[in-house]
Amino acid sequence: MTNRNVLGLLFAPDRESSLRAVSLSLLKVRGLDGMTCEKLGKALECSADTIRNASNEDAMLCFTSIARLLFLFPDESAPIRQLFDGEGAVPTADERIARIERDLEAIRKELSA
């Protein structure tokens, strides 16, 4: 993740963070009942292959598709909004698991004390 500029107004996420945020958002939408890559592609005005590639972090959606994703699925596209709001990188699955394991260990220590 790159840092904010000296004015603190502009935020430029790196490609890896952007791919991850778009992928997580798409996977959340694809998890909705009855949602397919074809239906999502139609809603975002791109192909099903583009949805699959972006879901796998192999390609980036165009700005128009990201804007439509944010508009049509605001709850599911929270990872993208985090980047726009300058909240930092979206954690990877391994980072999330490590955080959960640390929290569990802390809880176990509390209960055993």
Supply the pTM of this predicted model. Answer: 0.69
Per-residue pLDDT reduced to its tens digit, 53-94: 999 999 999 999 999 999 999 999 999 998 877 665 566 777
CATH class of 15-112: mainly alpha
Is it the case that residue 107 has pLDDT exceeding 50?
A: yes
DSSP the chain: -PPP-TTS------HHHHHHHHHHHHHHHHTSTT--HHHHHHHHTS-HHHHHHHHTTSSPPPHHHHHHHHHH-TTTTHHHHHHHTT--PPPPHHHHHHHHHHHHHHHHHHHH-
